Amino acid sequence: MWEGSTSADQLAALGRLDVRFADEGLEYGVFERWAVDLHGGVVTRAHDDVDVAVWAADADRVARALELDGWTTVPQEVGDGYRVYARDGVRLEVAFLAHGGDGGVHTPLADGGRAPWPQGAFGDGVAVLGRRGKDRADSATLNRLITNRLGPSR
7-150: CATH topology is Beta Polymerase; domain 2 (3.30.460)
55-105 confidence digits (pLDDT tens) = 999 999 999 999 999 999 998 776 789 999 999 999 999 999 998 877 788
Separation of alpha carbons 25 and 28, rounded Å: 10
**pLDDT at residue 31, as a whole number:** 82
Q: What is the pLDDT of residue 52?
A: 92
CB-CB neighbours of 70 under 10 Å: 12
- Cα separation, 103 vs 96, whole angstroms: 16
Phi, psi dihedrals of residue 29, rounded to the nearest 5° = -135, 140
- Angle at the Cα of 97 from the Cα atoms of 96 and 102, rounded to 5 degrees: 160
Cα(105)–Cα(93) distance, integer angstroms: 18
What are the contacts of 146-149 at 24+ separation with CB within 8 A?
A: 146/11, 146/37, 146/38, 146/41, 146/42, 146/43, 147/8, 147/11, 147/12, 149/42, 149/43
Angle between helices 59-68 and 7-24 (to 10 degrees): 120
What confidence tens digit (pLDDT) does each residue in 125-153 have?
444 433 444 444 445 544 554 444 443 33
Please provide residue 49's backbone torsions phi and psi, each rounded to the nearest 5 degrees: -160, 180
- What is the residue type of 2? W
pLDDT at site 122: 61
Any idea where the domains of the chain sit in the sequence? Answer: 7-150
- pLDDT value of position 43: 80
Secondary structure (3-state) at 22 = helix
Encoded amino acid at 31, one letter: F
Q: What is the per-residue pLDDT for 117?
A: 84
How does pLDDT run across 15-48, given as a tens digit for each residue? 899 889 989 999 888 888 877 777 777 788 888 8
Bridge partners of 85? Answer: 73, 92
